[in-house]
Chains A and B, each alone.
Chain A
Amino acid sequence: EAGVVQSPRYKIIEKKQPVAFWCNPISGHNTLYWYLQNLGQGPELLIRYENEEAVDDSQLPKDRFSAERLKGVDSTLKIQPAELGDSAVYLCASSLQSMSLEQYFGPGTRLTVT
């Protein structure tokens, strides 16, 4: 069974440029999460989807961040415009349902904003 797939693995952009990250969860997993992991910190939830519905986006900075999960499968996280402080690893995870203890994480996208 394939794991959570994320692309790109690495991205370097200049500040004020837009950037997008893509995630393909494990087949059959209804719940999808986007996390932000700053250097030396643990993952922090940005947004959680149940199928195509964003059920918790309270931690998503909506002035510059947006996300979508069309058809309840793949998801895209976008930042526009990027700031220096956005440099971090963006992790996608999925689980069978929202109350599952075990979340399956992708390898992440490491973003560097210069």
Chain B
Amino acid sequence: DQQVKQNSPSLSVQEGRISILNCDYTNSMFDYFLWYKKYPAEGPTFLISISSIKDKNEDGRFTVFLNKSAKHLSLHIVPSQPGDSAVYFCAAKSSGANSKLTFGKGITLSVRP
């Protein structure tokens, strides 16, 4: 069973506009949620995170929103830039001794110049 779901495989937006990437989860015990970004032939790189006790975290052009009641989070990128074109993975961290990251399938973002 997939505990972290990214249901849209791809998203295309115009440069300068907002990109909204969505993620849903099923496990209420996750204590942190993260977004990783991946360029071709490179490993994923950490982008931004949010604690389960927060509802918003902002870092420059990137903002993550968390809706715990809906078990949903989203990453907003504004304004979008061509260099943002990449695969974005939503991940969730479980607490406890065997803490680990559970990743979604990823969404490919294309920002058109």
Bitwise, A96-111 to B at CB < 8 A (1) or not (0) is: 0011011111111000
Q: CB within 8 A of A40: which of B41, B101, B105?
A: B105
Task: List CB contacts (< 8 Å) of B41-77 with chain A.
Answer: 41-46, 49
Known: A101-B34, A106-B43. A42 touches B104 (CB 8 A): yes
List, in ascending order, chain A residues with CB within 8 A of B93's CB. 101
CB-based A-B contact count at 8 angstroms: 49
Q: Which residue of B lies closest to A4 (CB)?
A: B43
Q: CB within 8 A of A101: which of B46, B103, B106?
A: B46
Known: A41-B105, A42-B89. A58 touches B45 (CB 8 A): no
List, in ascending order, chain B residues with CB within 8 A of A4's CB. 43
- Which one of A93, A99, A105, A107 has the highest number of Cβ atoms from chain B below 10 Å of its Cβ? A105
A91 touches B89 (CB 8 A): no
List, in ascending order, chain B residues with CB within 8 A of A93's CB. 43
Question: Is A43 located at the chain interface by the 8 A CB criterion?
Answer: yes
Q: CB within 8 A of B43: which of A41, A58, A91?
A: A91
19 more CB-based (< 8 A) A-B contacts, given A42-B103, A91-B43, A108-B43: A4-B43, A40-B105, A42-B105, A43-B44, A43-B89, A45-B100, A45-B101, A48-B100, A56-B100, A91-B44, A101-B32, A101-B46, A101-B93, A102-B46, A102-B49, A103-B101, A104-B43, A105-B44, A105-B45
A sample of 6 cross-chain residue pairs with beta-carbon separation below 8 angstroms, ordered by A number, consists of A42-B103, A43-B103, A98-B99, A101-B46, A106-B43, A107-B43
Chain A to chain B: the 6 pairs with minimum beta-carbon distance, closest first? A105-B43, A42-B103, A102-B46, A105-B44, A101-B49, A45-B100
